[in-house]
Homo-oligomer: A and B are copies of this chain.
Amino acid sequence: MKKLINRPDDVVREALEGLAAAYPDTLRVHLEPGYVVRADAPVTGKVAVLSGGGSGHEPLHTGYVGRGMLDAACPGPVFTSPTPDQMFEATKAVHGGAGVLFIVKNYTGDVMNFEMAAELASAEGIEVESVLVNDDVAVTDSLYTAGRRGVGATVLAEKIAGAAAEAGQPLKAVAEVCRLVNERSRSMGIALTSCTVPHVGHPTFDLGDEEMEVGIGIHGEPGRSRVALRPADEIVEMLVEPIVADLPFEPGDDVLALVNGMGATPLLELYVVYRKLHELLEAKGMRIVRRLVGSCITSLDMAGCSVTLLRCDDELLRLWDAPVSTPALTWG
């Protein structure tokens, strides 16, 4: 295992300490229990948006904490859900009196723990709404979850719900737009290599030199099939067709596209992927009106990519374009 870490037991804490040292103007880190909140939390009168999940997907979620996106992120151990206690403490730290939205990727542990945290918060009189993200079309039911997994749409949901909250919208409305993002998003990914969990020390799965895993999850859990490595253009087709067929996306649709690297994939390759995605969607009469190209929701050191499409309208675009200031996303 070749990683820039010290002891596997310390990697999450040390990464959080590094994050805190790097972005003192944007966020604050609490270590026991572990959570990250925006520097000016709690913002009185504003709905707070909170997410979390296992570590190893950075910048998700901690890198999206800041003005216009998440008020709080709860990082669990690598690929392991954070505890209800982490979520509850973070909830109290960001609650500004207008309620808290939980954005929950659909993994069994996360779902259960966020439910318990919501109960704890309710018992303290904090109003909570939860939105489940389950955009991965590759498989239903897998090693980590029942139903579809939550993947790339999480980034889009956090940005757009964060903007709605920042604009002063009430909790029900923020939750509603977050649900809308999930309903209109679809994703799928492939892996060229496995990832290696620090505690485990060897790759999660074996993949031959000429093989790839199609429909991979973000923890290295199996996807739809293992097939011979293809040229990038064919890989993009294998991702786009199931995504488009599932919603379905239709001619005339304006979409936001996320071309996401899984952690060890260079930007040069993501541009090659974007090129084909653009061409395929254009041929289908769809138009990419906004895009993110980068490693936004990763699986440690996995090589591969995923594609997420979100059907947009003017309101979603307005929220997408709203200013954001986090370690990983900044504009406006």
CB <8 Å contact, A2 and B209: yes
CB <8 Å contact, B263 and A266: yes
Q: How many Å lie between the Cα of A18 and that of B305 in the bound state?
A: 15
Check: A245 CB closer than 8 A to any chain B CB. Answer: no
Query: Nearest-CB distance from A34 to chain B (Å)?
Result: 13
Check: A270 CB closer than 8 A to any chain B CB. Answer: yes
CB <8 Å contact, A271 and B192: no
Q: How many Å lie between the Cα of A11 and that of B271 in the bound state?
A: 9
Interface residue from B6, B263, B291, B327 paired with A231 (Cβ < 8 Å): B6
Check: A272 CB closer than 8 A to any chain B CB. Answer: yes
CB <8 Å contact, B274 and A22: yes
CB <8 Å contact, B264 and A298: no
CB <8 Å contact, A6 and B303: no
Check: A55 CB closer than 8 A to any chain B CB. Answer: yes
Q: Which residues of the partner chain B approach A295 to less than 8 Å between Cβ atoms?
A: 266-267, 295
Instruction: Encode A257-277 as 1/0 by CB contact (under 8 A) with B.
Output: 000000111111111111110
Check: A300 CB closer than 8 A to any chain B CB. Answer: yes
Interface residue from B19, B229, B273, B298 paired with A18 (Cβ < 8 Å): B273
Q: Which of A56-64, A91-99, A162-170, A171-179 forms contacts with chain B? A: A56-64
Interface residue from B7, B16, B192, B300 paired with A2 (Cβ < 8 Å): B192
Using A268-B15, A272-B14, A272-B18 as known contacts, say yes or no to A4 and B192 having CB atoms under 8 A apart: yes
Q: Which residues of the partner chain B approach A327 to less than 8 Å between Cβ atoms?
A: 293
Q: How many Å lie between the Cα of A25 and that of B143 in the bound state?
A: 42
Residue ranges of A at the interface with B (Cβ–Cβ < 8 Å): 2-7, 11, 14-19, 21-22, 55-56, 58-59, 63, 192-193, 209, 212, 229, 231-233, 235, 263-276, 278-279, 288, 291, 293, 295, 298, 300-301, 303-305, 327-328, 330-331
Other 5 A-B pairs with CB < 8 A, given A2-B209, A6-B232, A15-B271: A4-B270, A4-B304, A267-B328, A268-B300, A295-B295
